[in-house]
Amino acid sequence: MPRKFEEPQERGDFLKSLGTLFAGFVASRVEDALTGLGPKLLRPPGALDEFAFLTACTRCDKCIRACPENALRKAAANQGLALNTPYLVPRAVPCFLCTALPCVTACEDGALVWPERILADGSRLEGPRAVRIGTAKVNPRRCLTYDADLREAQACRVCVDRCPYPEAAIRIAPPAEGEALGHPEVLEDVCTGCGICVFACPTPEPAIIVEPRRG
């Protein structure tokens, strides 16, 4: 015969479950609040999700010193809880996706881990190809392949030619009907967010940016 809800043990189990749910809800809200503070930063290859990264990173600077391209910077005080954590500014120096990813191997705290991911087609990647710093996005108002107020569209494929994985992570799409030129198209499933396209873009203000990874 099932116990009545009013019996002490059953009530205790219910309150315990309710407490667990409430704790999970609070933890989720705290995580959202913490990771929502300050600028969204582009993290080094292999970084954990932002909340876990902020918790695990001890600000030891080992990844910064290990980077052979001096691409990693330390977050300043105006970047809130991210203070002294490593991040990238691709327009200045992108991530060149070193074969051995020395920034990852230098991290002893587990804030950076060897990248692995599975693509939509089921193929498995690891190492540099599996890096997911963020995703490149093209701004048509700045891209040379689009018409603008003071200039006509012109052919340009610098972002494709400089990409470590051209035609796989970014390509020039066929011209749309009525257009003479194709435009850069990012394939989000393959893009590593390394920012080399941003670094190489010939426009004064880059026509392509990298949006930080979300989750």
pLDDT (tens digit per residue) in 55-96 = 999 999 999 999 999 999 999 998 888 999 999 999 999 999
- Does the residue 164 lie in any domain? no
Q: Which residue has the higher pLDDT, 8 or 62?
A: 62
Residue 38 lies in a domain: no
Q: Which domain holds residue 75?
A: 50-129
Which residue type sits at 138?
A: V
Residue 122 lies in a domain: yes
Average confidence score pLDDT of the chain: 87
211 in any annotated domain: no
pTM over 0.95: no
The full 3-state SS of 73-113, as one line of letters, equals EECCHHHHHHCCCEEEECCCECCCCCCCCHHHHHCCCCCEC
pLDDT at 158 over 90: yes
The lowest-confidence range among 12-26, 30-44, 193-207 is: 12-26
User: Rounded mean pLDDT of 43-58?
Assistant: 96
